[in-house]
Amino acid sequence: MIKTVGMIGRGAIGTLYGSLFHSVLSNDEMAYIVDEKRKEKYENFPLICNGKKTDFKYVTRVEEFQKVDLIFISTKYSGLMDSISLMKDFLKKDTIIVSCLNGISSEQILRKAFPNHKVIRTIVQGMDSTYLNHEVKFTVLGELLFGKEFEDERDACEKLEQFYTFTNIPFRKCENIVLDQWNKLMFNCGINQTCAAYYSTYGGCKVNGVLRNVFVQAMKEVKEVANAYGIALTDEHIENWKNVLSSLTDEGMPSMRQDIIAHRKTELDLFSGTILPLAKQKQIYCPTLKNLYDSILKIEKNFRS
């Protein structure tokens, strides 16, 4: 049974789930694991969540808290290696690790770092959480998708199901979590990168034209690479994502576009940065993904100079 949780990452997603966990767990049972700089910042500038001041516990060393049953990671990809350093002393021999990062690679990185622990593939989607000026707002919880990739993860998944039920987390267990992660990655490669590279909102990708073509072609290239690795993405998956896009507001924008506006490093490595090397191994040409990668990389270099 999961009774204690270490949270790593206190952004829009980390705060949403942290607030839900904290509604049933005390500060003796849940804490955010942070470095010294963030601890000082977070304690001096209290976080507001949906209009209320939070009283989360922040710890830098296991002596300030305890080893935990669950590590819940919701950082940006650029913070994953720091997360590994932060969490290692908080692990029991049977601690379950959950990564809410986009893409398909964070679990592999975590499994390499902690080969004796169960790292459960997870997708978060559908929430509307935003983080601005020490304040998080959300009205839609979305859902958390997870599932076993290997048979020896069954027990860990059952413990997560019990815990998410106890903490009132909307969740769905997936029969094929690897396919579902690739499917979500395919959409992100299309919509996130197109909106970022072309300075667009969702509306720009809805109408027939250059952006719509780029959005769809990027997904087709991901599908081709996935199929080469035995992942059964289909044209139907692409059509489903077109329908999802049509339901989004024209003025809305994905996280990568928000990062560009804020001059933050994007998660490019999780999208084209993941697919292009895999495509190269199978000698698959992905011109759209390569153009998007180069364009976004150039944008990042310009605002960092």
Q: From 117, 147, 173, give the residue that closes a domain.
A: 173
Q: How far is CA 82 from CA 13, 73, 85, 105, in A?
A: 18, 11, 5, 16
Long-range contacts made by residues 80-89, C-beta under 8 angstroms, separation at least 24?
80/106, 80/109, 80/110, 82/35, 83/8, 83/9, 84/109, 84/110, 84/113, 84/114, 86/8, 86/33, 86/34, 86/35, 87/6, 87/8, 87/33, 88/113, 88/114, 89/61, 89/62
Contact status, residue 296 vs residue 304, Cβ threshold 8 Å: no
> Domain check: are 125 and 207 in the same one?
no
> Domain check: are 167 and 238 in the same one?
no
> Domain check: are 207 and 124 in the same one?
no
Q: How far is CA 106 from CA 123, 192, 225, 269, 280, in A?
A: 11, 18, 19, 11, 20
Residues in Cβ contact with 240 at an 8 Å cutoff, skipping those fewer than 6 apart: none
CA distance 85 to 53: 29
CA distance 56 to 282: 47
Q: How many domains is the chain partitioned into structurally? A: 2
Residue 67 corresponds to which tokens in the numbers above? 């080893």
> Domain check: are 34 and 161 in the same one?
yes
For position 211, which CATH number holds? 1.10.1040.10
Q: What residues make up the domain containing 255?
A: 177-304
> Domain check: are 216 and 92 in the same one?
no
What integer pLDDT is reported at residue 134 of this predicted model? 85
Phi, psi of 244 (to 5 degrees): -60, -45
For position 159, which CATH number holds? 3.40.50.720
> Domain check: are 51 and 157 in the same one?
yes
> Domain check: are 16 and 143 in the same one?
yes
Helix residue ranges per DSSP H, the chain: 12-22, 36-44, 80-87, 106-113, 154-166, 177-197, 202-206, 210-228, 235-247, 255-261, 272-281, 287-304
CA distance 270 to 189: 9
What integer pLDDT is reported at residue 138 of this predicted model? 87
CA distance 213 to 197: 14
Half-sphere exposure of residue 200, counting CA atoms within 13 Å on the CB side? 22
pLDDT in tens, the chain (305 residues): 999 999 999 988 999 999 999 999 999 999 999 999 999 999 998 899 999 999 999 999 999 999 999 999 999 888 999 999 999 999 999 999 999 998 999 999 999 999 999 999 999 988 878 887 889 988 888 899 999 999 999 999 999 999 999 999 999 999 999 999 999 999 999 999 999 999 999 999 999 999 999 999 999 999 999 999 999 999 999 999 999 899 888 888 888 998 898 888 899 999 999 999 999 999 999 999 999 999 999 999 988 65
> Domain check: are 211 and 165 in the same one?
no
> Domain check: are 169 and 185 in the same one?
no
Contact status, residue 197 vs residue 296, Cβ threshold 8 Å: yes
What integer pLDDT is reported at residue 305 of this predicted model? 53
Q: Strands of 135-137's sheet, edge to edge?
A: 52-53, 48-49, 135-137, 130-132
Q: Strands of 122-125's sheet, edge to edge?
A: 122-125, 143-146, 171-173
Q: From 130, 145, 173, give the residue that closes a domain.
A: 173
> Domain check: are 166 and 182 in the same one?
no
> Domain check: are 152 and 186 in the same one?
no
Q: Do β-strands 122-125 and 143-146 pair in parallel, antiparallel, or remain unpaired?
A: antiparallel
